[in-house]
Structure 1
């Protein structure tokens, strides 16, 4: 089954659509990281402050998205998949890994504030790079594997339930 040919139901399409805006935000974050990497002096400090604010905002949006999957989609799918199927386990692990990288970034940045030097800023930004890399792969895996699988195994009633929960 080729994922791109699968027509997703409304709640699964909503999750996929949320990836678009999250990716755009991640790309802006990555551009700031590159500035931190290639600039020097006060420009690095200014960019780091921008990065911190962007990640604070992004983290809220990501948590909202992840909650829909962790609390509703994954448990629904798990009830259809056999005990030996690791699909949901892998997805949950990737969520935890990305969230941990973001937490590490925010924790280190807060501990380094209010005065962050150039080397600290570049070192702390590595956590943001790790979160970015994890999420790019994760979104791709969800879109190519998880969402088409969910479309196939979830009943019409379960999809309606997801849609109802996403609206509330």
Structure 2
């Protein structure tokens, strides 16, 4: 099956479309992490403050997106795929891994506080970079494999349930 040819139903397309906005945020975050890596001195600490704000906002958006997948799409697909299939397990693991990297970033940044120096800022930024790497691969997997698979195996009724979950009705 050529996943790029699969037309997604509205709820699956919406989940896929949410990646566009999340990726735009990830691009901004990545640009700041690059500057932090290559700059030095006080500017690194200032950039880190900007990165912290971006990561905090992004983390909330990502959690909302992940929750919609974890409460609707993933359990339904897991039931359809059967207990020997590890597809959903891998997706959930990747969610947890990305969330952990973001949480580590926020925790370490909070621990360092206002007294943060250039070296701490650069070392803590590594968590953000790891989260971005995990999410970049994860989004690609969902778009190329998971969403087209969901389109093929979920019933119209199941897709309607996902749509209600997404829209909060």
Normalised to the residue count of structure 2, the TM-score between the two structures is: 0.98
User: Match for residue 38 of structure 1?
Assistant: 38
User: Match for residue 57 of structure 1?
Assistant: 57
Decide whether the 8 Å contact of 2:44 with 2:118 is kept in 1: yes
User: Match for residue 120 of structure 1?
Assistant: 120
The yes-or-no answer on 1:16 pairing with 2:16 is yes
Q: CA deviation at 1:83?
A: 1.1
Separation of aligned partners in 2, 1:123 and 1:104: 11
Q: CA deviation at 1:67?
A: 0.2
SS in structure 2 of the partner of residue 83 of structure 1? coil
SS in structure 1 of the partner of residue 40 of structure 2? coil
Separation of aligned partners in 2, 1:115 and 1:36: 17
Q: CA deviation at 1:94?
A: 0.1
User: Match for residue 90 of structure 2?
Assistant: 90
Normalised to the residue count of structure 1, the TM-score between the two structures is: 0.99
SS in structure 1 of the partner of residue 114 of structure 2? coil
Deviations, residues 39-84 of structure 1 (Å, cap 9, x unaligned): 1111100000000000000000000000000111100111101211
Separation of aligned partners in 1, 2:82 and 2:140: 23
User: Match for residue 145 of structure 2?
Assistant: 145
SS in structure 2 of the partner of residue 113 of structure 1? helix
Deviations, residues 111-164 of structure 1 (Å, cap 9, x unaligned): 001111000000000000000000000000000110000000000011111111
Structure 1 unaligned segments of length 5 or more: list them: none
Count the aligned residue pairs: 168
Separation of aligned partners in 1, 2:152 and 2:116: 50
Separation of aligned partners in 2, 1:96 and 1:165: 21
The yes-or-no answer on 1:72 pairing with 2:83 is no
Moved over 4 A (4+): none
CA RMSD of aligned residues (A): 0.5
Decide whether the 8 Å contact of 2:36 with 2:44 is kept in 1: yes
